């Protein structure tokens, strides 16, 4: 066909350049946004499975970009990790989340996501201690969510880091459980307070018996080793019914609530209603 060959290659190259240009622009925008703390933290409720009352919130970062609109963390967190901005951004998110939670009733907790890079950074513990002290949040109300990838490599070091976090009185959850390749080994070697069952398992509950069997096994495992389980990504009543039935302790998902602004989260707390 006409236009193939060198023309196609040139076009391809032009697109590559454009993409590189685009990425560089996004990177410098991210740097500026981190410098000026131009992010929002949203709060998504986690509910007690039996009562559907709010027990805590997960803090989720949002980047309102002036020309691109709201940019998803799925896009900018990896970019922040590649550019080394994640420590500063993560510390900001932690502070913002703790600051907000410090004004909530004592029985409501806050969960904050930790990038593997933050987990391994020597600044993690000082940042935690400092944030708890300056916001006045009781450590027992804070929970950190880490994924398996944080635990790859140097096992002894990771055990020590986990231990020192828990010695502060802060709890640690294993996020996206089941999506990595050594989840079970990690449960054996590290002490966690909670397992979060990845939403892909919850959302495929009705599409095949094996998915249901996996969810079933994770919840049973949690019960047997005395670790709470949270099912994330619950969107329908029938997904809810099926995880409640299996004995899962907490739930999170659009069925109960989408991530809320700080203001809406406060309103949801004061309404005291099951959701």
Contact residues for ligand C2E (CB under 6 A)? 44, 59-61, 72-74, 77, 90, 93, 113-115, 145, 175-176, 199, 232-235, 252-254, 259
Q: Does 250 bind Ca ion (CB under 5 A)?
A: no
CB of 53 to ligand C2E, least distance (A): 18
Which residues share a beta bridge with 56? Answer: 46, 109
Contact between 252 and Ca ion per CB under 5 A: no
148 touches Ca ion by CB under 5 A: no
Q: Should residue 113 be labelled a site residue for Ca ion when binding is judged by CB under 5 A?
A: yes
- Residue closer to Ca ion (CB basis): 25 or 258: 258
Closer of 46 and 268 to Ca ion (Cβ): 46
Q: Using an 8 Å Cβ cutoff, are 55 and 84 in contact?
A: no
Q: Does 145 bind Ca ion (CB under 5 A)?
A: yes
Shortest CB 60 distance to ligand C2E, Å: 4
Residue 143 sits in the site that holds Ca ion (CB under 5 A):
no
Of the two residues 121 and 246, which places its CB atom closer to ligand C2E in the complex? 121
Q: Does 115 contact Ca ion by CB under 5 A?
A: no
Cα atoms in the 13 Å half-sphere on the side-chain side of 96: 21
- Candidates 1-9, 72-80, 170-178, 246-254: pick the segment binding Ca ion (CB under 5 A): 170-178
Closest distance to ligand C2E from the beta carbon of 21 (Å): 25
List 100, 148, 175, 250, residue binding Ca ion (CB under 5 A): 175
CB nearer to ligand C2E: give 79 or 156.
79
Chain residues binding Ca ion by CB under 5 A are 113, 145, 175-176
């Amino acid at each position: 066909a006409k236009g193939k060959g060198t023309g196609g290659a040139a076009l391809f190259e032009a697109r590559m350049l454009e993409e590189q240009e685009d990425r560089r622009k996004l990177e410098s925008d991210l740097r500026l946004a981190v410098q000026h703390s131009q992010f929002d933290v949203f709060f998504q409720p986690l509910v007690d499975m039996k009562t559907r009352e709010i027990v805590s919130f997960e803090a989720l970062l949002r980047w309102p970009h002036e020309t691109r609109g709201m940019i998803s963390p799925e896009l900018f967190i990896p970019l922040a990790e590649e550019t080394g901005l994640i420590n500063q951004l993560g510390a900001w998110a932690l502070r913002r989340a703790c600051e907000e939670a410090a004004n909530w009733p004592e029985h409501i907790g806050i969960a904050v996501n930790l990038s593997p890079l933050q987990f391994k950074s020597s600044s993690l513990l000082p940042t935690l201690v400092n944030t708890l002290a300056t916001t006045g949040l009781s450590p027992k109300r804070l929970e950190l969510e880490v994924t398996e990838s944080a635990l790859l490599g140097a096992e002894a070091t990771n055990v020590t880091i986990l231990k020192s976090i828990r010695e502060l009185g802060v709890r640690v959850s294993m996020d996206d459980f089941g999506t990595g390749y050594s989840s079970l080994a990690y449960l054996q070697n590290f002490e966690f307070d909670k397992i979060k069952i990845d939403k892909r398992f919850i959302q495929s509950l009705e599409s095949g018996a094996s998915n249901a069997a996996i969810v079933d096994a994770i919840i049973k495992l949690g019960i047997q080793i005395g670790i709470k389980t949270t099912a994330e990504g619950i969107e329908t009543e029938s997904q809810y019914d099926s995880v409640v039935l299996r004995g899962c302790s907490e739930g999170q998902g659009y069925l109960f609530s989408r991530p809320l602004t700080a203001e809406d989260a406060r309103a949801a707390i004061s309404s005291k209603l099951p959701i």
